[in-house]
Amino acid sequence: MKKQTAKYTSDKGDIIGSLRQVDDFLPSPKELFAAVRKNGPQTKVTLELDDDALAFFKREANRRKTSYQRMIRNLIRSYARARSAR
């Protein structure tokens, strides 16, 4: 099986269409730290984040002596679970 190659776009995060507010169901940084379990197979990805968002996760992870990548992964997992439960 041939290894897949990442294809990058010039997406700058422009908003298309109208926005609507959603319920705040995401976990707090404390809850993200507590969710340290590993759920099945994982895939490495490349992701660009805003500097201020990355600084937030690094700061919170440092305070809790954990990995900022783990906190981001747990946040995305929580979001995906909450959205698929609908």
For residue range 13-45, what is the model confidence (pLDDT) as tens digits? Answer: 666 677 676 677 777 777 766 665 556 788 888
**Does 9 map to a domain?**
no
How many structural domains compose the chain? 1
Residue 77 lies in a domain: yes
Note whether residue 11 is domain-resident. Answer: no
Per-residue pLDDT at 4: 63
Assess if residue 75 is contained within a domain: yes
pTM for the whole structure: 0.57
Contacts for 66 with CB less than 8 Å, ≥ 6 apart: 33, 36
Note whether residue 52 is domain-resident: yes
Q: Per the domain annotation, does 23 fall within a domain? A: no
- Please tell me whether residue 52 adopts helix, strand or coil conformation: helix
**What is the reported pLDDT for 57?**
92
Q: pLDDT at residue 50 above 90?
A: yes
**Does residue 8 lie within any of the structural domains?**
no
Look up the domain containing 55 and give its range: 29-38+46-84
Residue 13 lies in a domain: no
